[in-house]
Structure 1
């Protein structure tokens, strides 16, 4: 999966969201509960894992993401990007100040070891 390099370099904190619904329009935050915050090596490791997700073809499910990550820069005021993951249709939708339109919708192979590791990581954050 592709994340803009400048966003990866600038990320100081990742907020993990357990998504409860779809937003009313594209480009706004996904509603849900914050279940974890990752900083330092945890954030770096998560971004490395996300970047290692292999590409895939689109599967049909209607896009029902369960988790998203929001990456913040140092001041914690600016969301660099939010990426919402649907492990059924293998789609990721990203938006934010660092996301060019060409990267807004991507597909990943959720059945590969990196995909399953990311899903397990998300599940481990849910209370």
Structure 2
């Protein structure tokens, strides 16, 4: 779902991510990647062993169906 997020334009909000996702190998030692999503400025910041520097900061269309689904799933998973 994350890979299918359409690109978007940068908006200014000061980057205040409300949600993040981590992916691990089978050993759970180091995260392959973590993506912190800010649905206000439409920015995702990625870091981890599987993230090339060129992909560390990206912008997405927060109104796209994939983004709305990701936000809904994140809200459902929140305690």
TMscore range, shorter length: over 0.9
**Runs (5+) with no aligned partner, structure 2:** none
Q: TM-score, normalised by structure 1?
A: 0.61
Note if 1:52 corresponds to 2:23: no
Equivalent residue number for residue 31 of structure 2: 79
Task: Output the aligned Cα RMSD.
Answer: 0.6
Equivalent residue number for residue 22 of structure 1: none
Q: How many residues are matched?
A: 79
| Residue of 18, 37, 50 corresponding to 1:98 | 50
| Residue of 10, 20, 32 corresponding to 1:68 | 20
Query: Rg larger in 1 or in 2?
Result: 1
Larger RCO (CA under 8 A, 6+ residues apart): 2
Flag the structure with higher helix content.
Answer: 1
- Dislocated runs of 4+, deviation >2 Å: none
Q: TM-score, normalised by structure 2?
A: 0.96
Summarize deviations over 1:11-32 as a string: whole Å, max 9, x none: xxxxxxxxxxxxxxxxxxxxxx
State the 1:118 CA deviation.
Answer: 0.4
